[in-house]
Structure 1
Amino acid sequence: MNETRTSESIEATLRAAGERLSGYDLAAAGQAILADGADLFFTVDSSLGKLYVGYGTGGIKYVTPCAEDGWDFSRRYGEMFGRLVVPQEEGASDGLRGLVRRALAGERVEVPLDLSGRTEFQRRVLKVVEDIPRGEVRSYGWVAGEAGRPRASRAVGTIMANNPVPLIVPCHRVIRNDGSPGSYGFEPEKKVRLLRDEGVPLEEVARAPYVATPTTGIVCHTTCRHARRIKPENRRPFKNLNSALGSGFRPCKVCRPAVAA
């Protein structure tokens, strides 16, 4: 979007807002606009319906379902980030929209994210979760360990509940330490649907989050791509990792199962 079109879009947005922006700090908003413009948003289809995607120069900041109208989204965005956000012009930034579409379709693509408002630990957790492959799940305890704080399972749960970029950072792939799906910001039923759509065998995971094979002496997360290749007659399910390790199995070096602290 060129500078003139951006200015026109911002001006039109503010002019149309009127009483919808009552209580909003218009003076502060005006200063921010004069300083460096506004952030932008677009909509994109997903398995949960249409999503709003808000972004700035540093990348995507916020993703949420289109359950609210554009004004409510703009107000919430402003409260969260202290930035005005306006609709991008039609056809602009299709490169970013295309990346988001590919990520939502399950492709391994690098989507630029702006998590600058998060703590270092929160960013580490979100990066760990971003790298969980489609069709696989990991526990809160595992994520905590990978992020460098093995005893922080509860903190991980809180970070997942407040994930600003769900689906792009797939917090639905993080489950309870006992193998059950757990809660989800978009409703638990939607979490189950997302995981089933990705081919996660939820009943098997709930019964035994880990599976080992005597042919290699290795134990994996049940959804690990290597575990899925184990022949039925060689599968040894385990409810907890300690039991598998106590039986002489070694942790998979790919999915890296670890005992929760």
Structure 2
Amino acid sequence: MDRKPPRGLFITGNNTGVGKTHVAGLIARSLTNAGLRVGVYKPAASGLIEIDGQWISQDVETLWEASGKIWEREAICPQTFHAPLAPHLSARAEGKELDTQLLRSGFHHWKQKQADGACDFILVEGAGGLLSPMADDLYVADLAIEFQLPLIVVAANRLGMLNETLQTELTAQFYQRGVPIAGIILNDIAADISDVSRTSNRAELARRCQAPILTHVPFGANQIPDTVDWLALASMP
């Protein structure tokens, strides 16, 4: 196994339900369109839905399609569960236990692919926010630190996002040994124009956050609206 830090980014949210998978998919598609082979990894997914008699994870489907449909779904997400709960609780609702070693070995699969020259870039998408539990004694932040990937924080552009995003930044700075934030992406998760905070959130956040605001994704966008150097962000210390 190559012991160098992997080349990639860890996508997290400032909360649950902020459009993190959608934005991760847009980033993957942007890199794929630039000619890179993008490995996508979601350590565990819950909240499966039934379509045509098959149970699927919409998150996994989004990442699979955005990365060019070249990877096995089981490699993208080795553990999926039905109930829309934290992964370890969703597993227990089925009488199972989340495999915490598989959370890690699933990522090592992609790291080895990169070391072997079969994958140019790795995108990992966590579950919820940094302090969302992955297991009884494991948080999303623990995986981000272990994987040695800078963070991209997806922030839902809505009332209350300033507090949520600033708390996420503090968590990244002070949880255990810390994990660097490469940047923040504002994401419109609805077409609702009655929330007047949406017009001022970006400027207010830029004034208060240390991490840069990379872009603002409009509701329903099918591409990242600004040019972002994802490779440079992945190389930040």
* TM-score normalised by L of structure 1: 0.22
Q: TM-score, normalised by structure 2?
A: 0.24
Q: Whose Rg is larger?
A: 1
Q: Larger relative CO (CA 8 A, sep 6+): 1 or 2?
A: 2
